[in-house]
Chain A
Amino acid sequence: MHPAKSIILFTTLSGLGFGFLAFLCVGPSPVTGWGAVAGFASGLALAGAGLMASAFHLGHPERALKAFTQWRSSWLSREGWLACATLAVTGANAAFAVFAGIRVPPLAWLGAVLCVITLTATSMIYAQLKTVPRWNHWTTTALFLLLAFCGGALLSAMTWTAVTLLAGTGLVQCYAWRIGDSRLRASGTTSATATGLGGSGAVRSFEPPHTGDSYLTREMIHVIARRHSRKLRRTAFLLSFLLPVALLSAASAYGQAIWAAAICAHVAGVFVLRWLFFAEAEHVVGFYYGRR
């Protein structure tokens, strides 16, 4: 699949934002005063910026409000509602913490739960697609949630929670890569089922319908983007998981600079992971073109 910048920005930033907001709402250390201002402002800004970025993917962003109508059937529509509800509830929770200096536990918990549901809905936009077997698996949702929690724990400076989450997420990511590489084969779709010609021999694409590119080949069969996938996997793993864990082990000795470095490494790593999430995903329409 084509790794569009707008969608990579959207999923990475809003994931980080909602993960952070969840920790701010129900984290163990009460957040009030300037800490609350900075925390909630950056959490809401990250989530909001991510949602804004997603609008750049649209052919008609001025009609974006229409996307709120089909929540009964569409995960994309549900995601829109949930994101707005989450921003409203966590925003209200932030207002209480900042202006009144009080915690409202029911509101805080509602905000945190909404963060989790929103992240799940975002992941379901991709995980629901049977046409992209690599995404059509529980690891997609698990990773969207876990990576958001990792970012939240890092931004909340919770050392041991962050280290545990990073280690666990790293393992799930490895498993997702391992299982992901066999998903297309396991889907049962082949050039034989795509054409129905399998009964009379081995089917091979002889000539595509067009000599140049088309929307389909650019969008669904974006093979150039995955050319360096192995190197990118190693880079992403190092940046998102190994480096932050190593830095956090030394965090107590060096303080805030180390935390900043760990957060930067992790966020950069998640950007690479998201690039790979799209670039490595094979759409079954590729079977009509003899390309994956």
Chain B
Amino acid sequence: MSEERPNHDGRWTDTAPGPAQRGSADVTDLPAFTERSLGLVIDLDTCVGCHACVVACKGWNTEHYGAPLADSDAYGANPVGSFLNRVHSFEVQPDGDAPARLVHFPKSCLHCEDAPCVTVCPTGASYKRSEDGIVLVNESDCIGCGLCAWACPYGAREMDLVEGVMKKCTLCVDRIYNENLPEEDREPACVRTCPTGARHFGDLSDPSSDVSKLVAERGGIELMPEQDTKPVNRYLPPRGKDGELDVLAPFLEPVAEEPKGFMAWLDSALERL
């Protein structure tokens, strides 16, 4: 009996997942036009750095389409594994004496319009879909040369050291169109799992979409604009801090600063010495 697995388009079939349907000729040229630009909007103000998106991503993408995201020496001294989404933490130190701020920073494929990882691919395994702008790897064509990972400025691609093929975020292409899933689950695993709602999924080419409105409202930014990759994903910068750092402080009893009783006598005696 053949195993039931979803293919790249999210339809469940009784055959092994084949390469996704390719629009035009088999060339790793970028599409001149994409009907939609599906992507993520990540709110750096809300992200608490819990890594739930990292775990959800690893889980879904290990159990579903393509080669599993392998780990090696997982319980040993030097564990290493492939992930499609990783959370960095940065310290931002404003000028002067203001306290530094900690920003948690999830990073995955940005599904760039001018994706350099696609054009460098010698085999055509890397491609950008014209229907929704998702950048994918056809693993059965990938020779594992690693050049696409070198071409990506964001570190979004990782070679699976067990399978010898390049892995990257698929924007959960096998969830978002998957009619066998309840409608609320038809979004990327990282978005679905985020406990703080810091991740948003939608069509960034449509100015009336929720994600586009968020980007307009909060001044969403693109990463490394000088690299000319035209990323689709946007990051919402953290909001400014309120003047008072500790909102509870005004309501608390002040800590005694002058000693009383025996401590007061000891303090003055020592002072006189």
Interface residues of A, Cβ cutoff 8 Å to B: 1, 57-61, 63-64, 66-70, 72-77, 80, 125, 128-132, 187-189, 191, 193-197, 199-210, 212-216, 218-220, 283-285, 288-289
Contact = CB atoms under 8 A, between A and B. Distances in A.
Interface stretch (B7-15, B136-144, B203-211, B247-255): B136-144
B28 to A, nearest CB: 5
Interface range on chain B (Cβ under 8 Å from partner): 35 or more
Contact of A131 (B27, B87, B142, B227): B227
Nearest to A132: B150
Report which residue of B26, B82, B92, B237 has the largest number of chain A beta carbons within 10 angstroms of its beta carbon.
B92
A68 B154 CA distance: 27
B216 interface: no
Contact of B91 (A60, A206, A215, A288): A206
CB-based closest 7 A-B pairs:
A59-B144, A59-B164, A209-B86, A201-B94, A77-B122, A285-B155, A196-B221
A114 B67 CA distance: 39
A216 B119 CA distance: 20
Interface string B135-170: 000000111111101111111001101011100000
30 contacts: A59-B142, A59-B145, A59-B159, A59-B163, A60-B165, A63-B143, A66-B123, A66-B143, A67-B123, A69-B122, A70-B28, A73-B27, A73-B119, A74-B122, A130-B153, A188-B226, A189-B227, A195-B105, A195-B223, A196-B221, A200-B92, A201-B100, A202-B92, A205-B88, A207-B88, A210-B83, A213-B80, A214-B80, A215-B158, A220-B150
B132 interface: no
B226 A187 contact: yes
Contacts of B146: 57, 59, 219
B79 A206 contact: no
A127 to B, nearest CB: 12
Given A205-B91, A213-B80, 4 more contacts: A73-B119, A191-B90, A197-B92, A215-B159
| Dominant secondary structure at the B interface | loop
Nearest to B145: A58
B29 A219 contact: no
Interface of B: 26-29, 44, 54, 78-83, 86-95, 98, 100-103, 105, 107, 116, 119-125, 141-147, 149-155, 158-159, 161, 163-165, 221-228, 235, 237-238, 240
A290 to B, nearest CB: 9
B226 A189 contact: yes
B149 A212 contact: no
B198 to A, nearest CB: 15
Contacts of A125: 147
A215 B120 contact: no
A188 B89 CA distance: 22
Contacts of A80: 122
A130 B92 contact: no
A76 B227 contact: no
